[in-house]
Structure 1
Amino acid sequence: MRGEVEQLVGILFRTLAEEGYTEAQTALLDTYQSKADTDREELAEELFVEVVTNLSYHLETETEVEVLVTAIEQLLSWFSSLVEAAPVAILAVETDGQIEFWNDGAERVFGWSKSEVHQRPYQDVFAASSDEMEPHLAQLQDGKQLTGLETQHQHKDGSIRDVRIWAAPFRTRHERFEGATFVISDVTEQKQREQRLSVLNRVLRHNIRTDVNIIHGHLNQLAETVDDTTEHLRVMEDRLSNIIQLSDAARHIEQLRDEGEDGLTTIELESVIQERVTRLRKESANATIRTTLAESTAVVAHELLPYALDNILDNALEHNDAETPLVEIAVSTGETAASGQTTVSVADNGPGLPDHEQAVLTSEEETQLNHSSGLGLWLTRWIVRNSSGTLSVNKSTWGGTRIEIRLPTQTS
């Protein structure tokens, strides 16, 4: 059932109550209660038929018409106020593409008044090139929707605006195309900010890497003339490494933003984890690293998922103060294929992840109260989220940290 039918039934019910037609209202309520177990869509359709039947039975024809008109007017008033108050452009076109409806938001976004665009072809008003929207309008005629389509439209003053479009076709009961409705958001300023940040990010990364390499070279020369165990040199080496890691994280964040869902791919977890376990066993010979891996476990995730696993595994060992650091990695799938989830668990026997670091992995935004020491954990969260996955943090069996990542399983 369509939402407008359900809303109309609800408004009719309230109208009957407000006008004092209690007998017709009670009959409608009895009908609703008697069909409580009916499918929601089927129920609303039946209720609509029942309410009209009840109105005919309990009210005079003139009164029946008045109640129906009042309810429909109220519904239209709600829709109208919603459309006019919307901060985005909302418009409707006829079968030939001519603009029939134009809300106040459209005038604010594009500069044209209702009278200036009424009955003008959509392409002539907006498109930088006359045939730019043709294939998308053809999609609507074929019954398909436009969801978050990014393109460019022209403002009345001649400037080109970056826009994001959602649109759906109008169809008659006989499925004949009767036009379409559009919701258009101006994202020009957002795009400009993204471009400026992208340029700034790349320039800074390049300059930082160049300067770090120069400093690193001078440090190596200095180290040849002093004791290799000099604490000052070690601290400077560590800080330079941190700067390089921040630069790499910034590059990955930019990649994550630019690619979005386009960066999704199939990843074989077994081979990815085995590579990291081999590396960790070489780098941390005194640590115990155990794995429980399901064979041929593939997930759909962002291509940066291996980087997220690196962050979690390195963190489990780097801050582990146990005499013999222990990291346990497990991969499991749902009990049934229908569950569609694969879980990657990393548990350690370290001191436990501090509360502010846990907040990084579980909260939506970074504030001064949960500021992390670096970008690694934030990037891990964003990679998992862009992979349509979830992430949780709990205490491990040994009192350390247990991090679980749940990802969509790749189905054949």
Structure 2
Amino acid sequence: MQSVEYREQIYDILSDPTKSIATRIDDALDVGVDYLDVSIGFFTRIEDDVQKIVQSTGNHTLIQPGETCPLDDAYCRRTIEIESPLAIQDADASSAVADSAVETFGLGAYIGARILVKNEVYGTICFADTESRETDFTAAESYFVELAARLVAQALEQQSYERELAERETEINTKEEVSRALIDASFDLVFQIGSEGQFTYVSPAVEDLLGYSADDYLGQPFTSMLPDQSTIAVAEEIYESVMAGETVVREYFPLEHRTKEQVLVDIRVTPLYSGEVSPEDRTPADIVGVQGMARDASGRHHRYRLIRVLNRVLRHNLRNDTNVISGYAEMLRDRLEDEDAAYARKIIETTERLITLSETAQKLESNLEAPPEIEIVDIVPLVVQTVNQIDEQYPGASISVHTPDVAMAKSAPRLEAAVWELLDNAANHAGAAPSITVTVRIADEQAVIQIKDDGPGIPADEKAVLLSGQETPLEHGSGLGLLLVHWIVESLGGELTVRDSEAGACVEIALGRTGEPSSE
């Protein structure tokens, strides 16, 4: 079985909502042990500098469920401190593992990744063997472990969310007003719909979620919150089911913001019974309306989409390019003559493409997971610094920069990655000696970064990736760097524009601003 098939298998296992998390993790550990050709797999919980084995596979006496040890004596001590997986070919020769850990556990080879739940270290998922490896763990193997860690984290977050929902539903059965206050403080939207299909209550938090006040919805049909006819049809089916006595849960249900954009939420809608009927005597005839609770799921939906994009791109490109490498390697083996040098160059070129694709995918994922950190800052130093870095990397390019002394804008450190990708794209694709102009200007209430080159321009499919973040054009990975730009600018609340140009490409990033720098 190839590495991509193992990744698909681990994704299917850990994303299966029909199985318990414990069962999913057990199955994932078995797949990992098989794929990595090791004898031990384990899932840990780390609290108060203590490592506890929660689940495991293998016969190691100290790596069994319930076993604990000080974190300083564990192989996972270094794992939780770094973002990428920790891969160790020979523990005896590695400085990343404490001597006490090697003496205690006697593991020769180890690879593990940290699990973050709500941006906090929860534990690790690891694979190991008592014998050291003859070769390093590959990039594909490291990505497999990292993917497993992220999927376990998502499953744990979903479990926590479902537990919170269950707890809130229990509270609702006490006092209506107390319950309503608790829910309003815990959810992005709470609403009640009467038997005539009109809103009888909408929590004040709706203004933050959808841009309208609660009073705007009161007395209106529940369809007024929905974006289109297909969504209305689904909502009407949900309403009928709840009025018949069912509780309905939906993920990524679309609502309409005041700006006409869609907001995806997770909703839970339950029957609202007459208070005159005791719980044990309730029937659908006693239902007087429905009560719903919703949480903004847009961020999580973006992360899920990104994982799917990364999986598809890596699955397609790594498979195809690896086949190219294998093909040329076989030709080199069979034809050790003058043509060998040309084949070797082909191998190097293909490998470089794989490395570039992998690095860009990693940057895309890390930037998506980065906290907002949006501040009003001067973006001129960031732009100038990025231009200088590109100038050093591409000495054949001619880059001119035009900026005001100060340009305050809503920004974050990840803006540098977006500017870098656009400049790198221009330097790579605008010819042997490209001419690039970078301009920063103040326009109305925005600070605009314009990057213009004299190359052939941006192809239509890649332009779609840049402007809308569409996934389809990434089938062959051509626009992954541009997708990174789209995600970053969107996360900063900015706007991307591709301007018409007589020759080459002209891309603008527009960011909101608030005027002059503070005196601090």
Is the radius of gyration larger for structure 1 or structure 2? 1
TM-score, length-normalised on structure 2? Answer: 0.38
Question: Whose helix fraction is larger, Structure 1's or Structure 2's?
Answer: 1
